[in-house]
Amino acid sequence: MPHDQAFWLPFTANRAFWKSPRVITGARGHYYTTDDGRQLLDGFSGLWTSGLGHCHPKIVAAVQEQVATLDYAMGFQVTNDKAIALAREVATLAPAGMNKVFFTNSGSESADTALKIALAYHRARGEGQRTRLIGRERGYHGVNFGGLSVGGIPGNRKVFSAALLPGVDHLRHTWSPADMAFSKGQPAWGAQLADDLERLAALHDASNIAAVIVEPVAGSTGILVPPIGYLQRLREICDKYGILLIFDEVITAFGRVGAPFAAARFGVTPDIITTAKGLTNGVVPMGAVIVRDGIFEALMQGPEHVVELFHGYTYSGHPLAAAAGLATLAAYREEDSFARARGVEPVFEEMIHSLRDAPNVVDIRNCGLMGGIELAPRAGAVGMRGFEVFLKCFEAGVVIRNGGDVLQFSPFLDSTPDELARIFDTVRQAIRSVA
């Protein structure tokens, strides 16, 4: 095998990829440059990561300065100034009463960290029997064993089934096309789906359940928007039984739903929030887990010289990532990015729903600047039609993503109507051409 194909690509059909590689060599603002010199309009903001656009000058400058000032510092029993500053900024942006921030390097690490904090919290309070974790069908919480176990995407779980965590159960997912297809924003129907948590609380006995983890808006699985009242109901049931509520905001935080966090947009405050992606605009890998004050306090027990939580990554709070994070949060503030995204949302909503009459479209879903167009699968080839649309768009100079037969959209927070029109015109042509 030639070494120029040594790279094993993540979540990629590797054999097909190398027959016609798609290689990006540069980026600026809303465009990528490819190795064959083409300019591509990025309709996915990186991979949900880069809402401010690529190579943002202030983030680039901050990272350049940091790498020449402090490249790395030991992160256990010692830390760096930028990590302290970024934690303060994240806590300031987070919902009231959520003031402690644990740094990771990715969304997957954030998910596993949050689950471990939940178990440690209950144990520290003398409720060590609370070990069960509840996820949701079609949920995505990354690829590490904890997040995979609470996740609900069959294709990700299948091969690793025997190695998944024990003591995990799943709420039913919230997609019901007969009741909500083509809803604009939050479906009006479906708050009662949260009552599925009552079923699991009865089955396992609520006193054994540590936490429930959900994406406020499910992303990877094809944009499942929470029905009106659903998240409120989950919060109420968790409160009733002393179960921690974890919002996985790896996608939804930092403007993607027109607010600093989906928690703010939906008016529901969880006990723990996980983030990554938009924390640094994708420039340096970083994630963060934000916890409610009482959770941290409960863990501050025992002799003061002993580590309270036996958990951490070599690169937790990495100075380069923290510098990128500080510049990113400053840019969101200076450019009023979250309000801007709210301004773009109605245009985005109207344009994405204008594809309702395109061939094979069975549902369209949107919330904030997250959108999905679901296509009917080709007979005997699930996912093929979606992948073909992705390829056609890429050839036509527009980058979108397909999760199986769901086309996914994540435009920049400052997208213009012209850019959105170009994205959806290209997609319409592509859907027709593969009909």
Q: Which residues bind ligand PLP (CB under 6 A)?
A: 313-315
Q: Which range touches ligand PXG (CB under 6 A), out of 1-9, 107-115, 364-372, 386-394? A: 107-115
Give the residue at shortest CB distance from ligand PXG: 107
Pairing status of strand 31-34 against strand 370-375: unpaired
Ranges assigned E (strand) in 206-293: 209-214, 244-248, 272-275, 287-292
Between 112 and 374, name the residue whose CB sits nearer to ligand PLP.
112
Between 72 and 182, name the residue whose CB sits nearer to ligand PLP.
72
- Residue 366 touching ligand PXG (CB under 6 A): no
- Binders in 26-85 for ligand PXG, by CB under 6 A: 47-48
- Residue 340 touching ligand PXG (CB under 6 A): no
Among 251, 321, 322, 329, binds ligand PXG (CB under 6 A): 251
Q: Residue 106 binds what, of ligand PXG, ligand PLP, none (CB under 5 to 8 Å, by partner type)?
A: ligand PXG
Sign of CA dihedral 318, 324, 328, 334: positive
Q: Locate 303 and state its tokens.
A: 């002799």
Adjacent-strand bridge partners of 289: 102, 274
Query: What's the distance, Cα to Cα, between the start and end of the chain in Å?
Result: 37
Q: Residue 187 binds what, of ligand PLP, ligand PXG, none (CB under 5 to 8 Å, by partner type)?
A: none
Residue 347 CB, nearest approach to ligand PXG (Å):
22
Q: Residue 54 binds what, of ligand PLP, ligand PXG, none (CB under 5 to 8 Å, by partner type)?
A: none
Q: Locate 50 and state its tokens.
A: 């880069």
Between 285 and 386, name the residue whose CB sits nearer to ligand PLP.
285
Q: Residue 100 binds what, of ligand PLP, ligand PXG, none (CB under 5 to 8 Å, by partner type)?
A: none
Sign of CA dihedral 110, 111, 116, 117: positive
Using CB under 6 A as the binding criterion, the count of chain residues that bind ligand PXG stands at 19
Between 45 and 144, name the residue whose CB sits nearer to ligand PLP.
144
Largest alpha-carbon pair distance within the chain?
A: 67
Adjacent-strand bridge partners of 246: 213, 272
- Residue 114 touching ligand PXG (CB under 6 A): no
The residues, any chain, with a CB within 8 Å of residue 5's CB and separated by 6 or more, are 18
- Residue 210 touching ligand PXG (CB under 6 A): no
Q: Which range touches ligand PXG (CB under 6 A), out of 74-82, 104-112, 385-393, 427-435? A: 104-112
Q: Locate 64 and state its tokens.
A: 């350049």
Cβ-in-10-Å burial (0-12, 13-18, 19+) of 139 comes to buried
- Residue 219 touching ligand PXG (CB under 6 A): yes
Residue 117 CB, nearest approach to ligand PLP (Å):
17
Q: Tell me which DSSP letter residue 226 carries.
A: P
Quick count: other Cβ atoms within 10 Å of Cβ 305? Answer: 5
Question: What character string, x for contact with ligand PXG (CB under 6 A) and - otherwise, covers 380-409?
Answer: ---------------------x-x----x-
From residue 236, give the alpha-carbon distance in Å to each of 196, 270, 429.
13, 11, 45
- Binders in 142-201 for ligand PXG, by CB under 6 A: 142
Count Cα atoms within 13 angstroms, Cβ side, for 412: 24
Q: What is the distance between the alpha carbons of residues 229 and 217, in angstroms, rounded to a whole number?
A: 13
CA R_g for the chain: 21
Between 251 and 322, name the residue whose CB sits nearer to ligand PXG.
251
Residues in the site for ligand PXG, rule: CB under 6 A?
A: 47-48, 106-108, 111, 140-142, 215, 219-220, 248, 250-251, 276, 401, 403, 408
